[in-house]
Chain A
């Protein structure tokens, strides 16, 4: 089974750690491995900590947070070589890094699957930073490559005018797990129903479909449906494994119970849009 990788990007102080702290504390039922640049701002309830070392914290909910050391790609290789892989790998990109340059490895590497780029933007600082002659281009680049942009520090109604893309205030998302890591199909039906931040969707298909047709249809899905995964019938009794995050669509041979589940953020997508799109698809 491929290991999903999500990269959290954003400039220094944007709020990446706030997002990670929330992810660590949530009861999402996933064993996450979260690699951070340093432990400085990692802050989880002491009662949740099961073990802690110089470069590792293990939590009672099964999540592990560790520093990535000198070479990020070696660290990713080490995770893949383990006997017991986590359910999801989350990497915090450094403040000036291009998160897509890291996330791309999940598209390239067969043992990984793309879990998306979530870029965090500071509502109070983004306008200044994105126009800075020294770092503006790199800061804007982090937003350009994001599958989801979340905005921190929006209290008091602050909003970055220069952003220019759809984004969601971090404070308005009640649980961040689905946003960053998606859901396993089994979790979706009940799990998300109680969370008003998300619209969930579920679809099945009767007939088999060619890979290129499937990709074309998946690419035409409403943009607000930012995560989708599951299995679809392929010709000759085979099965397609589908992962969609943002603009990235991955379809490869796999096996699993037929059906697709997806989530989007409330306010970004409506059930009726999704149903319309899917009706045209149902063969």
Chain B
């Protein structure tokens, strides 16, 4: 049997300007051998034809440059968010628009559980609710006997029922900051921040560690990715102990349909982190790429914890909080730059972006070197001047375009105001400045789906339907480039993936329609039929 497979499709959109479109792609040893028509690989010897992609439009495998592995395993809990969402098995979870809908939805869900099993929900976001706040009284309607905890979408808050409060020992006599008390002097059920949530998580067995690194979590992540046409994905703040790496290597071997780029969380002593990153890099395989690090700097804009420049938040909230002190950001940048380790730096507010660029500039003058491709992540408030500096310093930016749709209206009304909201996630400014860009979902914060993310960057619609900052819209080809080649570039994988080019991995996204042919407003509605990873077909 021939070792060359020629795939036929309605159209391959290659993202390679030398051969932008084709009807056939030949694959050998998991890599692209030839591109063209049905005869494109004949010069290489006998071929076998594969028609499984026939009728589909095929893109390079989509690449998600900023997501978290828990996006897969979080589905072990019941989804109770405002928007419709699809789980790894393809089941649609309809959005729940208010507290009563959450009650009804979970009553149904509870029918499938043992009578005393806890119910844990996730994805709830009060920012979208106009009705009263979710409370224990709502959750007690679901069940007074079994403990119930609803984790909010930001993972900083939860709401629990009376049974769970009782298990944690929370009552009228409790005086703990973060255990919210009602007018009647009893806890309302809402718990804020880890300290207050800890007794519940411990007693209900809610374990965020189990949502990453376990074999089930890794496989669930692959399923979520496959449904989104994604063949390479990051896990952008990984702890990765040696045992974790063993598990990941084991699970991702063979025909695993996903390349994972776990990025080591950098909190603590720079040299120790750099040593660990170097050790991890040595254990990399094709499907598991390690060696980069992730820095946290500030918080989130909608939580008013991002560090923003003058004039700050429109509600007069105090400036946000550093998760890493600027001085420590400088020290980390210096060490990583000196050691040749790529950094992904979380920057939501513009002050955080500015400090990070200052730190990179200082690191570059102390340790000159090219090709570092440090990536600013989120970049939600960066404006023209910061993008120009990013370009000067050889940095990339990975822009959180999904925010425009999910939180754009809230940013206008509650955090930054109309003017600055227009330049949020300013992908056009980035391209104008010559900065390489990717676009991301930060799944599970928003759903994984690069086509949806591209739709956000192209149309800049908010949930209310308005266009937020039309001048920052991308064209469809620019957005498609950003979710393939752009993201590959930010991961330093652009020589291997990101386009359908001879020599690259045969990673494809198999789509039901042509994203360059549909109305740009329909980009998000294009169906994903599956993926091809290293030449192996994984249709849904």
Contacts and interface: CB of A to CB of B under 8 A. Distances in A.
B269 interface: yes
Counting contact residues on chain B (CB < 8 A from A), the size range is 35 or more
A105 interface: yes
Interface string B305-333: 00100000000001101111111100000
Contacts of A138: 321-322
A71 interface: yes
Contact of A109 (B199, B272, B323, B324): B199
Given A38-B269, A80-B202, A96 B195 contact: no
A254 interface: no
A105 to B, nearest CB: 4
Contact of A69 (B177, B239, B324, B351): B239
A87 B328 CA distance: 33
A104 B268 contact: no
Interface in B140-180: 168-170, 175-179
Contacts of B239: 69-71
A135 B355 CA distance: 12
A11 interface: yes
A12 B269 contact: no
From B198, B199, B209, B326, residue with most partner A Cβ within 10 Å: B198
From A39, A71, A107, residue with most partner B Cβ within 10 Å: A107
Contacts of B318: 137
A73 B198 contact: yes
Interface string A51-78: 0000000000000000101110110110
Contacts of A67: 268
Interface in A136-190: 137-138
A12 B328 CA distance: 8
B324 A96 contact: yes
A134 interface: yes
B241 interface: yes
Contacts of B433: none
A108 B198 contact: yes
User: Which 6 pairs of residues, A with B, have the shortest CB-CB distance?
Assistant: A70-B239, A104-B195, A38-B269, A105-B195, A96-B325, A38-B268
11 contacts: A38-B269, A39-B272, A40-B271, A73-B201, A94-B267, A96-B328, A101-B195, A104-B176, A108-B179, A110-B169, A138-B322
Interface of A: 11-12, 37-40, 67, 69-71, 73-74, 76-77, 80, 94-96, 100-105, 107-110, 134-135, 137-138
Given A71-B209, A104-B178, 16 more contacts: A37-B267, A71-B208, A74-B209, A77-B201, A77-B202, A94-B267, A96-B324, A96-B328, A103-B195, A105-B195, A105-B198, A108-B178, A108-B196, A109-B198, A109-B202, A138-B321
